[in-house]
Chain A
Amino acid sequence: MNNSLIIGQYVPGNSIVHRLDPRTKITIIFFFVFIVFFANNLPSYAILVAFAFASMFASKVPIRFILKGLTPVWFLIIFTFLLHLFVTKEGTLVFDLWIFKFYSGGVIRGIAIAIRFFLLILVTSLLTLTTTPIEITDAIEDMLGPLKKIKFPVHELALMMSISLRFIPTLMQETDKISRAQASRGVDFRTGPIKDRIKAVIPLLVPLFVSAFKRAEELAMAMEARGYQGGEGRSKLRELKIEKMDIFVYIIFIVVIILLFVTRTYG
């Protein structure tokens, strides 16, 4: 199984971040994504970085694991940095060698953009690392609740989402199992001309679809057998509840926002 990509993977735990109400986490991340774009000088970036790192430490997810999991994204971060470095022609010339002419403005902007990028990805992956897919779905259903008034199918949407999320690991396992079985029958997924490798996907995809359809059918039958009739009048096993800690975290976050707007430069 691919174990380098961690986005979307839940790491069980019992830290403060794990226990926060999922709505709190989603709300904070939503606003964090906005305010990241308001930082424009050293102190304001420092505040955001401090907040993100504090959340990361509080989550108790091994830091090495988080950083390693971001490997596929590092490439993007470095790429944006280099792009700004080469393209921006502001400030003083700080480096000049052959075709490489770097300006101080480019260096600063490159670093700033890379930090923004990194913060966004770090914070959003913290959400999925510390929140089960079910919690996220419950939170979204709850937060979109008002839309029910205009007959928007909030419950159905949430159900679809939670079923898909639920089956991602299952399908990955299934893919792993089938590819092992076909590899044992001499299929080579890794080497050979591209045409052969594309052909090698068929023995993988057909069984995967067959089993996905079978699963869908069984799930539908099981839901019906247990009397599922849609969202109307359905009660919940896990009630979402805002606790003292959530309020505490909101207050911290508001302080962060205020500090950010105080420290950033205007004009």
Chain B
Amino acid sequence: MDITFENVSYTYQRNTPFEHKALEDLSFHIKSGSFVAIVGHTGSGKSTLISHLNGLSIPTDGKVKVGKYLLTHDEKPGDLKELRSKVGVVFQYPEHQLFEETIEKDIGFGPENFGVSESEIKERTHEALSAVGLSETLLDRSPFDLSGGQMRRVAIAGVLAIKPDILVLDEPTAGLDPRGQKEIMDMFYRLHQEQSLTTVLVTHSMEDALKYADHVIILNKGKKYLEGTPEDVFVQKDALKQVQLDVPEIVQFIASFNHKFNTSIPFSNQSTEQLAKQIKQALIGDELE
């Protein structure tokens, strides 16, 4: 499903002294099937933005279009539930939403609300559980007996079991160990490709944005600051620095290398292996090949 924002503004607690403009005149388009990273300093409006994708927030001004659903201040679709069954959201610290007695019930909670049949729920539960890398023996246990990382995985499985077309991830790996972070991000990327999902990832990690996304949107104080492919966005070191963001390590490395050795290796989102080759080429030429 395509996602379109047209001049979207959102104000929290309108008409009070606490009024806060969290989004301002935001426009962009996300093509169906793409993997988009939304990056920005803390408080820049990332979570507010994604809460528009399944109608949790309705724009104060402007239009949000998600697939065939149109959300504006004056009209919202009669059936938000239908929209929500197509847009799965993994919130920041999703383990806080667990509540059922058993893990199996918790994972099946979403699909059940959306009217999926019992046998299908069972099937989806098993599928989701193996996707997040948990063992089936856990199904009858209470989610509250698990470690933090395992709870996170159960919560994610609960969203995957909804089988959404659009997967929205709000810093899904915050607070996990480095290995767990990589496992979970790789899992999302695999699902993205296998099920041709549209994925929207909110992240603070430039490395993740670079590695997984094919389109990057940088937010600053509720406004769109930069947008483009990772190759285009992440080389703008000064512009990023202005909004307290760093460039990914590999970009930084290439820049310092070029500076020190007077070379001009371009950044093209290459792997470290390719980069090693380019360095070799730049330093000793092609003769040895």
Provided the pairs A181-B91, A186-B113, A187-B113 are in contact, do residues A62 and B17 lie with their beta carbons within 8 angstroms? yes
Decide yes or no whether A180 CB sits under 8 A from chain B: yes
Provided the pairs A68-B15, A177-B96, A203-B99 are in contact, do residues A184 and B113 lie with their beta carbons within 8 angstroms? no
Number of residue pairs A-B, CB distance < 8 angstroms: 69
Decide yes or no whether B110 CB sits under 8 A from chain A: yes
B101-117 interface bits toward A, Cβ cutoff 8 Å, 1 = contact, 0 = none = 00000000110111000
Residue of B nearest to A174 (CB): B96
Name the A residues within 8 Å of B85 (CB-CB). Answer: 186
Residue of A nearest to B109 (CB): A185
CA distance A182 to B110 in the complex (A): 8
Name the A residues within 8 Å of B159 (CB-CB). Answer: 184-185
Decide yes or no whether A61 CB sits under 8 A from chain B: yes
For residue A61, give the distance in angstroms from its CB to the closest CB of chain B: 7
B86-101 interface bits toward A, Cβ cutoff 8 Å, 1 = contact, 0 = none = 0111010010111100
CA distance A249 to B17 in the complex (A): 26
Contact of B13 among A1, A64, A183, A211 (CB under 8 A): A1
Provided the pairs A177-B96, A203-B99 are in contact, do residues A184 and B54 lie with their beta carbons within 8 angstroms? yes
For residue A218, give the distance in angstroms from its CB to the closest CB of chain B: 14
Contacting B at CB under 8 A, from A59-76, are 61-62, 64-65, 68
For residue A205, give the distance in angstroms from its CB to the closest CB of chain B: 8
Name the A residues within 8 Å of B113 (CB-CB). Answer: 185-188
Provided the pairs A177-B91, A210-B144 are in contact, do residues A185 and B97 lie with their beta carbons within 8 angstroms? yes
Per the CB 8 Å criterion, the residue count for chain A at the interface is 26
Q: Is the CB of B96 within 8 A of A185?
A: no
Q: Is the CB of B97 within 8 A of A186?
A: no
Q: Is the CB of A64 within 8 A of B99?
A: no
Contacting B at CB under 8 A, from A154-186, are 174, 177-178, 180-186
CA distance A215 to B166 in the complex (A): 34
CA distance A181 to B81 in the complex (A): 13
Q: Is the CB of B96 within 8 A of A211?
A: yes
CA distance A51 to B110 in the complex (A): 56
For residue B153, give the distance in angstroms from its CB to the closest CB of chain A: 16
Contact of A64 among B15, B56, B114, B144 (CB under 8 A): B15
For residue B175, give the distance in angstroms from its CB to the closest CB of chain A: 15
Decide yes or no whether B51 CB sits under 8 A from chain A: yes
Decide yes or no whether A145 CB sits under 8 A from chain B: no
Decide yes or no whether A97 CB sits under 8 A from chain B: no
Q: Is the CB of B99 within 8 A of A183?
A: no
CA distance A174 to B97 in the complex (A): 10
Residue of B nearest to A13 (CB): B17
Decide yes or no whether A3 CB sits under 8 A from chain B: yes
Provided the pairs A11-B17, A65-B17 are in contact, do residues A183 and B97 lie with their beta carbons within 8 angstroms? no
| Top-6 shortest CB links A-B | A186-B113, A206-B99, A185-B110, A181-B97, A184-B89, A3-B13
| Chain B contacts to A: CB under 8 angstroms | 13, 15-18, 51, 54, 56, 81, 84-85, 87-89, 91, 94, 96-99, 109-110, 112-114, 144, 158-159, 162
User: In the complex, given contacts A181-B94, A207-B96, what are 15 additional A-B residue pairs having Cβ atoms less than 8 angstroms apart?
Assistant: A3-B18, A11-B17, A64-B15, A68-B16, A181-B91, A181-B97, A183-B56, A184-B84, A185-B97, A186-B81, A186-B84, A186-B114, A207-B97, A207-B98, A211-B96
| Chain A contacts to B: CB under 8 angstroms | 1, 3, 11, 61-62, 64-65, 68, 174, 177-178, 180-188, 202-203, 206-207, 210-211
